[in-house]
Amino acid sequence: MRPESISLFEHLRERSHLEFERVKESGKKVVGLYCVFAPKELIRAAGAIPVSLCGKNQDPIREAEAVLPANLCPLIKSSYGYARTDTCPYFDFSDLVIGETTA
């Protein structure tokens, strides 16, 4: 039996996709972020919307390591792997992508 609260999250990806379409149609810019150290305050101050790019699991890391160093942050590799395989819905909405130096 599934908890009732799970229903809140069932269609979250679809709803966020539609919301980003509305945001883009309104003329706002979206900044895709690869890491938590990006200056979200500056992005918002510039009138843009920060969004974390997908880095949820290890599946896309192999694809990313075809071009990125193996010792790079796994979150970055996972996110970049999503971008390379065109499986991150937020990457396409991003007008700018910030991937600051990480370890």
The 10s digit of each residue's pLDDT in 1-32 is: 667 777 777 677 677 778 888 888 999 999 98
β-sheet with 30-33: strand ranges across: 49-52, 30-33, 96-98
* Each residue's pLDDT tens digit, 79-100: 888 888 888 878 888 888 887 7
Best CA proximity match to 24, nearest among 97, 92, 99: 92
> Quick one: tokens of 61?
């890391």
Could you give the CA distance from residue 49 to residue 41 in angstroms, rounded to a whole number?
A: 10
* Each residue's pLDDT tens digit, 44-67: 999 999 988 777 788 899 999 999
pTM for the predicted model, two decimal places: 0.67
Q: Which residues does residue 96 pair with via DSSP β-bridges, in sequence order?
A: 31
Whether the pLDDT of residue 73 is over 80: the answer is yes
Q: Which residues does residue 98 pair with via DSSP β-bridges, in sequence order?
A: 33
CB-based burial label for 82 (10 Å; 0-12, 13-18, 19+): buried
